[in-house]
Amino acid sequence: MSFTAFNFWLIFPFIFVFYWLIPAKWNTWRKVLLLVVSYLLYMNWKPVYALVLLGVTFVTYVGGYILDNERIKSRNKVGRKIVVWLFVLLGFTPLLVFKYYNFLNDNISEGLASIGLRFSLPGLNWAIPVGISFFTFQAVGYMLDVYHGRTKAEKNLLDYLLFVSFFPQVMSGPISTADELLPQIRTPRSFDYKQGKLGLQYLLWGMFIKLVIADRLGLYVDTVYANFVHYSGSTCFLASIFYTLQIYCDFAGYSFMAIGIAKTLGFNLINNFRRPYLAISITDFWRRWHISLTRWLTWQVYIPLGGSRCSKARTYLNIFITFLVSGIWHGANWTFIVWGCIHGVLQIVEKALGWQKYEGKSRLFKAIRIGVSFLLVSFAWVFFRMTSVRDACILIRGIFTNFGRPNIGIFNGSTLLIVLIGLTILVFKDVRDEFYYHKWGFFDNKIVKWFISVCLFCMVLLFGALDGGQFIYVNF
Amino acid sequence: MIVAIIDVGVGYVCDNLLTHAKGGITRQTNDLLMVDNHDVLILGSSRAKHHYDTRFLSDTLGLDVYNAGFDGKGVVLAYGILGMVLERYQPKLIVYDVEPSFDIYEYAADNNHKRYIADLKPYYHHRIVESIIKDVSIEEWNMIQLSMIRYNTTIISFAIDNIQTRETFPYGYEPLHGEMSKQGKDESNDSLYEDWFKLKYVSRLIQLSQSNNVPIIVCASPMYGAQTSNLLQPIKEICNQYGVTFYDNYANPNYTSHREWFKDKSHLNALGAKIYSRHIAEQIIDTMNIHQITNN
């Protein structure tokens, strides 16, 4: 069930109250409650897909258990490697089948057809289980952490079931590590007013940027991208910039809501976003965007490949492979692969030229770098958004060749005003948090904070797109 | 508590803004639903709004014709409009223009039909509107009990329409100017699934009209490049069932290859609308008893 669904907000107060009504000494019952709620909410989509969630959980639980077994540990390295590969493959099987089977089947069939061989397997017409990429990566990540000795295997099945299915994060992350979440699941806690208040603030901000900004921008983006051949290059460019902002507000909005909900229940999840569009390079962007996935890829792909502790050429290859995996993770389409490759290549170029960091004091130069990084990221998002690489290329070519006025009229007056107000608030907050955090103390005043919170809440109700828009990243 | 007080305030202000609007779409919609009496109502989507030149139709038919087509909306809203209008008076003729995405088939952006009830929310206290909203979604009905949600987004246009008199198009018809440049991709009809909910409302619209002794005709205006009108078969069957006249110009070859009459694939431009309106007026005169309609 989506966090923006009205029904969720009817149910959540009951979850909150029942959870905190259970005394801390009966922590097991609290965990049972959260587990039942997590599975019920997950089953709200397609009940049968809870079996996939359960299957991935059991495979990785058993995998972790075996890999942490002293007898297996004491075996030779190759034997242990075979065991871990076997369980990784088993853990990834549902993801591979549901998400990549059709893509592989189609591409292999086309490849064979091009050399005159006609062979194809029947396609699968199944919906992809919601959040499969997220919970699979979290569960497999846990198992690999056990294998590398970064964490101990979790023996308590209840704790582990909750670790994989915890409802605030199961559908779109953040992808937590065992070290982060399992100790919090184990430890009984009492309600912390400060943490709860902070959680509500995260929740409100997430709702605001998702419902007031992302879903409104989405109206423009969807209209233009659906018929991009009919629009001028400047309109397509504007739609691309809007998509850049939309996907941030959509995904970060979800993450902030997930973090907020978890905080109200006493859990701290990793912050997935740190003002990514104020990055001064693409490398910097990836330290701020989808931080939990970047961390996963760094630990489970980049470092095992050798990381940066090898030759320059090998390091560049490692970066490229890591971002190729990132592209593939996002979806079974060449557009995602091209998107991943663009980010990989841009980072390699930055590394080769030493442009990842800027420690100078020139504000102008910093602003230019932020602007250039933003445009490069926006360019890559075009591939991410389009349904085919060919369409993305046509749209990009149109931006540079089909001049004309940008069509603002796609928005009606109200929507344009809402978007402008929303974006102004977003830019103001992010710029303040990035550059003036300890300044402008006026905004830290208690009354001002309450006033802002009430205003944001009313704006969500008055200006938010409340008609059930889905989160973009839920599809991944 | 603070939010509850704000909500009551917003409800009071918006109710007043709605009824005192000086112009714009707020005034236009409110007048259509609550004030004006027109002889003929054109109902439907943007294809209705941009295809029926009301001034021309009024002159030709000798009746007061109003175009109540709404961009991106379909039969669910049309049923609500007719129901509310019938609470006040009886029009002499209803013309319903069909749009396959909004009236027959499932459509990705339908959002469980919620997109079709947005304009009705401020009138939620009318029994017919209540029944439609509850039919679309009980959840939606519960949500709109909060004024801030009921007037979500519309509050801005309400406010603007109270401050200045925004120009609107007389009698609802909004001409589109310019010619279509590129055709775009032809969409496949393979994955179209009939939407029983929309078809139910097509039947209800006809029943509502007939039970109030208001003649209704159903039209399908031209679509650029359409080869056949097989897509409209479910509507044809409903029209047959209720004995309603159906003017099918969807794939009329006199229109479908004239790029210069189209603004885009789905919409006629002003010139195309003029030609089509003349055509539809002739069809109405040929098949309906205009004298009887006029004297009703």
* Closest C-alpha among B132, B151, B121, B142 to residue B14: B151
- Chain position carrying tokens 């279509």: B180
Q: Do A113 and A50 share a structural domain? A: yes
Contact A227 B184 (CB under 8 A): yes
The pair of three-digit structure tokens given for residue B158, joined into one six-digit string: 């309400």
Name which of A229, A410, A466, A475 to mutate to probe chain B: the one with the most chain B Cβ atoms within 10 A of its Cβ: A466
| Degrees, nearest 5: CA angle B273-B275-B280 | 85
- pLDDT value for A77: 76
Q: Is the pLDDT of residue A468 over 60?
A: no
For residue A75, pLDDT beyond 90: no
Residue A452 clears pLDDT 60, i.e. is over it: yes
Phi then psi for residue A203, to 5 deg, are: -60, -45
Indicate whether A404 belongs to any domain: yes
Whether residues A180 and A229 fall in one domain: no
In this predicted structure, the answer to whether residue B186 has a pLDDT above a threshold of 60 is no
Residues A143 and A39 in one domain: yes
Evaluate if residue A240 carries a pLDDT over 70.
yes
> Which of B151, B153, B163, B186 has the highest number of chain A CBs within 10 A, making it the mutation to test binding with A?
B153
Instruction: Tell whether the model's pLDDT for residue A441 goes beyond 80.
Output: no
CB B66 within 8 A of CB B295: no
Which of the listed residues A190, A220, A244 is the one where a domain comes to its end? A190
pLDDT of residue A308: 86
Structural domain includes residue A348: no
Q: Assign B291 a pLDDT band (cuts: 50, 70, 90).
A: low
Q: What is the mean pLDDT of residues B117-130?
A: 92
Q: Are A286 and A343 in contact (CB under 8 A)?
A: yes
Cβ-defined contact of A461 to B160 (cutoff 8 Å): no
- Residues 6 or more apart in contact with residue B248 via CB below 8 angstroms: B219, B220, B229, B232, B236
A309 found inside a domain: no
Model confidence pLDDT, tens digit, residues B20-60: 888 888 888 998 999 989 999 999 999 999 999 999 999 99
Residue A343 lies in a domain: no
Mean pLDDT for A271-276 is 94
**Does residue A313 form part of some domain?**
no
**A82 and A99, same domain (yes or no):** yes
Q: Both A91 and A212 in a single domain?
A: no
Residue A349 lies in a domain: no
Min mean pLDDT across A68-72, A326-330, B52-56 is at A68-72
Asked if the model's pLDDT at residue A115 lies above 60, the reply is yes
Same domain? A186 vs A219:
no
Q: How confident is the model at residue B223, as a pLDDT?
A: 93
pLDDT, tens only, A151-168: 999 999 999 999 999 999
Together in a domain, A211 and A171: no
* pLDDT tens digit sequence for B217-264: 999 999 998 889 999 999 999 999 999 999 999 999 999 989 999 998
The range of the structural domain enclosing residue A263 comes to: 197-280+358-463
A interface with B, Cβ–Cβ < 8 A, is 6-7, 222, 227, 229-230, 412-415, 417-418, 454, 457-458, 461-469
Taking an 8 Å cut-off on Cβ atoms, the answer to whether A414 and B156 are in contact is yes
Contact B194, B105 (CB under 8 A): yes
DSSP B194: B
Enter the DSSP assignment of A335.
H
| Chain Cα centroid distance, residue A242 | 18
The total number of structural domains in chain A stands at 2
- pLDDT tops 70 at residue B188: no
Lowest mean pLDDT among A188-202, A208-222, A376-390, A405-419: A405-419
Could you read off the pLDDT of A32-55 as tens digits, one per residue?
A: 999 999 999 999 888 999 999 999
* A314 in any annotated domain: no
* Percent of chain A topping pLDDT 90: 67
- Across the beta sheet with B245-248, the strand order is B65-69, B40-44, B93-97, B216-220, B245-248
Residue B296 has what pLDDT? 65
pLDDT of A469 above 70: no
Given a cut of 80, whether residue B288 has pLDDT beyond it is no
Q: Do residues A85 and A184 share a domain?
A: yes
Asked, as a colleague might, if the bond just before A188 is cis with ω within 30 of 0, I would say no
pLDDT beyond 90 at B206:
yes
- Say whether pLDDT at B163 is over 80: yes
Contact A213/A245 with Cβ under 8 angstroms?
yes
CB < 8 Å to B143, chain A = 6, 466
Mean per-residue pLDDT for A232-250? 94
Last residue of a domain, one of A159, A190, A221: A190
Task: Find the mean pLDDT for residues B109-136.
Answer: 89
Measured CA to CA, the distance from residue A357 to residue A351 in angstroms comes to 9
Type of residue found at A388:
S
Q: Give B188's DSSP letter.
A: P
Burial classification of residue B186, based on how many CB atoms lie within 10 Å of its CB (0-12 exposed, 13-18 middle, 19 or more buried):
exposed
Residue-wise pLDDT tens digits, B72-111: 899 999 999 999 999 999 999 999 999 998 999 988 777 7
Q: Give, in order, the Cα–Cα distances in Å from B37 to each of A376, A390, B44, B86, B217.
A: 57, 53, 18, 10, 19
The pLDDT score that the predictor gives to residue A81 is: 86
Residues A245 and A143 in one domain: no
Residue B166: predicted pLDDT = 67
The pLDDT-based confidence of A121 (bands split at 50, 70, 90) is confident
Answer yes or no: do A167 and A78 share one domain: yes
> For position A118, what pLDDT does the model report?
74
Please list every residue in chain B whose beta carbon sits closer than 8 Å to the beta carbon of residue A222. 109
Overall average pLDDT of the B254-279 stretch = 92
With CB atoms and an 8 Å threshold, state whether B182 touches A229. yes
User: Cβ(B287)–Cβ(B245) under 8 Å?
Assistant: yes
Contacts of A230 in chain B (CB under 8 A): 181-182, 184, 264
CB contact under 8 A, A461 and B152: yes
Q: B66 has which bridge partners?
A: B41
Q: Is residue A292 part of a domain?
A: no
Spell out the CATH class of B2-181+195-295. alpha beta
- Domain end, chosen from A172, A190, A208, is at A190
The per-residue pLDDT of chain B, averaged, comes to 89
Confidence of residue A437 (pLDDT cuts 50, 70, 90): confident
**Tens-place pLDDT, residues A379-388:** 999 999 999 9
Give the list of residues 6+ apart from residue A162 with CB closer than 8 angstroms, or none. Answer: A31, A34, A35, A38, A185
Whether A146 and A89 map to the same domain: the answer is yes
Question: What are the two backbone dihedrals, phi and then psi, of residue A283, each rounded to the nearest 5 degrees?
Answer: -60, -45
Gap between the Cα atoms of B154 and B123, Å rounded: 13
Q: Which of B216, B222, B192, B189 is nearest to B204 (CA)?
A: B216
Q: Which residues of A are catalytic?
A: 330
Residues A159 and A207 in one domain: no
- B153/A463 touch (CB, cutoff 8 Å), yes or no: yes
Q: What is the 3-state secondary structure (H, E, C) of A337-352?
A: HHHHHHHHHHHHHHHH
Domain limits, chain B: 2-181+195-295
